[in-house]
Amino acid sequence: MPRQAGGKPGWQRTSRVAQPRQAAQQQTLKANAVVCGVGYWSGKDVRVEFRPAPPDSGIVFVRDDLPNRVRIPARVEHRIETPLRTTLSCGGARVEMIEHVLASLAGLGIDNCEVGVDQVEMPGLDGSSGPFVEAICAAGIEAQDASAAQLIIREVTRLGDEESWIEARPSRSDSLSLRYRLDYRDTSAIGRQTVQFELSPELFRRELAPCRTFIRKSEAEWLRSQGFAQRVTTSDVLVFDDEGPIGNTLRFEDECARHKLLDMVGDLALCGCRVVGQIASHCGGHRLNSELVRILLQEGERVQSRRRSA
């Protein structure tokens, strides 16, 4: 049995979790791409501009609305805990609900991008990564003269408890395989769902990017009573009662579990490099995803990318 890790209950790992290695070429956008929408939590209009970035620069959010245009690298060390979303803080500035933006970039294999925003919160759009992905693909993606660093999972790491956990394992392939089990036994319209995919840009765009955020009716009503989501309707997010989504139609029978995988892709992007291995989660969320990223980075060593010869 794996030993307890870090002295914290529910954390297990073996000695060497991950090792990095060099892989395919890095990628960025060919041109700028702009997406506009409304923040779910704040109700404010927001503009996001995806801009090409040089090799080895990674994904960086830029608060274009601030006088000093604070730059916030999309790395797990800048993550702060906020309910139901992923938030980064750096230099006295924050960006919130970034998981769908990061999932879009990581899912398409984009390593370097400057994401300019004029608000704290990213736009919710239809609750998926679909509009971001379509805008990025319309702008175009190009390879760069540098190899992309990969973090290779070599041993088993498991975090959480019986109710909610995430586990990383080695893979025999050079890809990232993701599995998620959702269990909403108290909401029969959602129920139990299990999905598994081997991630690729084509699969992400087709099978995961369109999958939307979901919430139970009682939770949605409570959020509204607290002053949140005042401009959000059942057309913008999947709101479930006992019969199913209210005023909406599922795009996939297991759309809820697929959306959890989409979130996982976004949170794993906080590694700052591509991940190779198998990751499975049972009822996990942003916190467990981020803690796994922290452990993988602690156990591995970052390898700087190498410029390719002409």
Angle at 100 between CA 95 and CA 104, to 5 degrees: 115
Q: How many helices (H) and strands (E) does the chain have?
A: 6, 20
- Say how far apart CA 55 and CA 157 lie, in whole Å: 31
> Which two tokens mark 287?
């916190």
- Say how far apart CA 217 and CA 196 lie, in whole Å: 27
Which is the catalytic residue, given 100, 259, 282, 286?
A: 286
Phi and psi angles of residue 287, each rounded to the nearest 5 degrees, phi first? -65, -50
Helix (H) or strand (E) holding 284: none
Residue 131: closest CA among 250, 5, 47, 247: 47
Residue 297: closest CA among 269, 267, 271, 266: 271
> Which two tokens mark 112?
């370097």
- Say how far apart CA 297 and CA 147 lie, in whole Å: 19
- Say how far apart CA 105 and CA 111 lie, in whole Å: 7
Decide if 42 contacts 122 (C-beta within 8 A): no
> Which two tokens mark 222?
């409570």
Taking phi first (over 0 means left), then psi (-120 to 50 degrees means alpha), and beta for anything else, what does residue 231 get? alpha
* Residue 100 falls in the annotated catalytic set: no
Residue 19: closest CA among 275, 267, 243, 265: 275
Catalytic residues: 286
